[in-house]
A and B are shown apart, each in its own frame.
Chain A
Amino acid sequence: MTNARRRYERILRWYPRGWRVQHEQVMLGTLLDMDDARGSGGPTFGEAWSLRLDGLRHRLVPVGGERVSRHRTIISVAVAAVIVGCVSVGGLMAAALPSPTLSAEERNELLAACLTAKGWDARVEGDGVISSTPAEQNEQFLADGQRCATSTNPMVAAVPTREQLETQYASLLSAQECIADLGYETPMAPDEATFVASMGTWSPFASLPNISAAEFGQIEQACPQPNLEP
């Protein structure tokens, strides 16, 4: 199996299982065709994030959607939760935070637990979290869901260990040097203690000047980012 195929397969795990059964192989084939046409470099950073976000979007409604009735609201790990950890770089999404390491199922469990703590009758069902909620409370439920999704978002819920953060910090520093060698100035890195205390909210990739996607791709090719995949 090629390296590119493996990397795309890992990213496609962000889609819910029901979707994957139907579409994963076909989308993977198209991604690999496109990758070949580009010169087989594997997923670009922007492409990887657009796929992850699309995968999460597909989780917002369970497959088929028939289970959503008037009195039941389904939410899942909100797209907003991921965006919280991302900053926009010249139109691309760049994660400033370390790798989400929880599976989607684990994230849903956390989300359900958080909603239960807020007094909702919430449980995991299928690819989402479901609650028997009177229709007039839907808005409140969704608002709480958003808050829970943010607090159970991969970056926060999958609290990285100090060791992981230190490794991440070292990798980001090397990446920053590599980026500087290409002639791009990025703001000075925080010290390691600050980086760890902030759960890794710094990345040289997040503070690149406003550049084109192609240029961003070139930088990424020359200076690989620390692994952000689950």
Chain B
Amino acid sequence: MPDTSPELSNEVSFWVLAALSEAPKHGYAILRDVELMSASQGSPVSLKIPTLYGALERLNRLELIEVVGEEVVDGRARRYYRLTGQGVTALKDETERLEARVRVARSVMREGSSVRVDGGRR
């Protein structure tokens, strides 16, 4: 299984997976939910369609998401994606990694100069 962590550190990919963790969604629903979720944490991600589809193609190739079906609604084709088991794990791992990063940064900020710039604490 390829290493998926570089893909997860891409903010767009992270948000796409987060949006899909609720339920299977089609392109526009993902786009809207990514904007809503990212706006709620203070730095809204405004996605261009090529960026969204680029991320969906990569995540699909990495088997983190999969297509669950297509339908035509009012003459418009919709393709629904959902997280795979690997996708769920990858999202969980990345979230934990981000939390750990925040914890370390907080403790560094509290301790200030006792932490060396190269990251080694002696």
Contact = CB atoms under 8 A, between A and B. Distances in A.
A26 B49 contact: no
Given A47-B49, A50-B50, A54-B54, A27 B27 contact: yes
- Chain B interface, >50% SS class: helix
Interface residues of B, number: 16
Interface in A21-68: 23, 25-34, 37, 47, 50-51, 53-54
A26 B50 contact: no
A31 B79 contact: no
A26 B78 contact: yes
B78 A31 contact: no
Contacts of B31: 30, 34
A25 to B, nearest CB: 4
Nearest to B57: A23
Given A34-B28, A34-B31, A29 B76 contact: yes
B79 A47 contact: no
B31 to A, nearest CB: 7
Contacts of A26: 27, 70, 77-79
B122 interface: no
B82 interface: no
Chain A interface extent, by class: 10 to 19
Contacts of A37: 28, 32
Nearest to A54: B50
B116 to A, nearest CB: 39
A100 to B, nearest CB: 18
Given A28-B77, A29-B27, A29-B78, A34 B53 contact: no
B77 A25 contact: yes
B48 interface: yes
A57 to B, nearest CB: 8
A54 B54 CA distance: 9
Contacts of A25: 77
A12 to B, nearest CB: 10
Contacts of B49: 27, 30-31, 34, 47, 50-51
B12 to A, nearest CB: 14
Give the top 5 A-B pairs by smallest Cβ distance, nearest first. Answer: A54-B50, A29-B76, A33-B28, A30-B27, A25-B77
Interface of A: 23, 25-34, 37, 47, 50-51, 53-54
